[in-house]
Amino acid sequence: MKRRLRSLDGSYSCEADVFEPDRYRQLLSLGAEVKMAVQGGGISLTAASFGGGARVINMRRFNRLLGFDPERGTVEAEAGITLGRLSAFLVKRGFTVPVQPAHPQITLGGCIAANVHGKNPYRDGLFGGLVERLRLFHPAHGELMLSREQNGDLFDLTCGGYGLTGMIVSARIRIAPLGGNCCEVTHIRVADLADTFARLDELKESHDLLYSWNDLARFDRHMGRGYVVAGTFVDREPAPAGPRRLPRLDPHRGSVARLSLINPVTLPALTALYYRASRGAGPRILDLTRALFPAVERTFYFSAYGRAGFIEHQILVPDSRRLDYLGEFEALVRRHRQPIGLASLKLLQGRQRLLHFDGSGVSFCLHLPNRPGPRALLEELDALNSQYGVITNLIKDSRLSAVTARHQYPEFDRFVGRLGAFDPGRLFVSALSERMAI
């Protein structure tokens, strides 16, 4: 079936032939005649699951639960299952997936392929760390079982391989006991970005949720003010109810807002209002859905940037250089005076390898209107990032060039070489792999 597909940030769209297999027979009989792209929820910021002239294989009908072992703390499911469904099953049984990105429509396959992070990556690591084994299908290789012990190289390439090694059919992952039936969340005020670093450092070991919101739409002495969101799972009777209705995030329909309601003129007032409304005094009790998936009721936000959309620029600044970097970053933002729509910081602790958004440092996630002014700021930021050993998250930023990514990721060519050795015909592609010249 022909469909128009769009990236969530609005920067890329194309017509594609979309196939949704729902039987193993249909999936396993796919041949290697045409280039393919694998799609899960299809809600990534950038066009990572379509484009490049590929036929899109959407995995959403492969969404069955295959096994649950509370003693060992594992769950096995088909890759098209959404985090929302998986979470609903696990929460009833007192468990959770310890690493979950912020939206319930994201699928298990999408989490593995982009090796995503959750609400406190410093403590919980990345999604790939939870995966015990997975089943991969590639028309030229057939079905393969992958784990650290069996086909370890390919396992390594597939977790964080952006769907380029083939279709993840199912996976078994580690789960953790849930610490409560709701979440106690405190917003701790911070004066600026340096203060945010200090607060995140203090709290990084002790909280289930830990990230910040900062106001980077003003350029006075209050630039970067905001709050740290610190949350812990607790038990309360009765547990607070979750949202009655979960609005669907459907980037492929395009922006519902004809005008860009979020733009450089409105942003300073919008972020000031948001700051006032959210800095709240005491702790609040949040239901599990809103705590685990904070973006669940913010569907409108993504289209409020209008037709041109927005750019998400997420970077990881190494710990050893973060204060020097911060000085240069703030000077650059002040010089360009381009209001930033969303700025959020998290801490990570890990080792950067292949194309994984991993390492030990502080992650900045920034949303900017997709306009010439903000793009000029980001181009200069790319150059600064490359000087400081900063990496940019490939699944988020649709404007990042192959040259910049190659410069930032020391193992970029290693990834390309290993992928080419496994699949010389390079059957799986996407707009992302094309832009990255992979």
User: Could you list the residues that contact ligand FAD (CB under 6 A)?
Assistant: 8, 37-44, 48-49, 59, 79, 101-103, 106-107, 109-110, 113-114, 116-117, 162-163, 167-168, 295, 395, 430
CA–CA distance, 167 with 110 (Å, rounded to integer)? 11
The token pair that represents 212 in the structure block: 């910040």
Output the smallest distance, CB 10 to ligand FAD, in A: 12
The token pair that represents 267 in the structure block: 């942003």
Output the smallest distance, CB 86 to ligand FAD, in A: 12
Nearer CB in complex with ligand FAD: 216/355? 355
Output the smallest distance, CB 20 to ligand FAD, in A: 12
Nearer CB in complex with ligand FAD: 118/226? 118
Nearer CB in complex with ligand FAD: 194/360? 360
Output the smallest distance, CB 167 to ligand FAD, in A: 5
Which residue's entry shows tokens 């940030």? 9
Output the smallest distance, CB 385 to ligand FAD, in A: 18
Nearer CB in complex with ligand FAD: 218/415? 415
**Nearest CA to 134 among 117, 158, 115?**
158
H helix or E strand, kind and range, residue 143: strand 142-147
H helix or E strand, kind and range, residue 78: strand 74-78
Output the smallest distance, CB 96 to ligand FAD, in A: 15
Beta-strand relationship, 361-369 and 391-392 = unpaired
Nearer CB in complex with ligand FAD: 128/218? 128
Nearer CB in complex with ligand FAD: 42/231? 42
Q: Please report how many Cα atoms fall inside a 13 Å half-sphere around the Cα of residue 131, on the Cβ side.
A: 33
Which residue's entry shows tokens 């009833």? 92
The token pair that represents 124 in the structure block: 């919980």
The token pair that represents 113 in the structure block: 């392929």
CA–CA distance, 27 with 57 (Å, rounded to integer)? 9
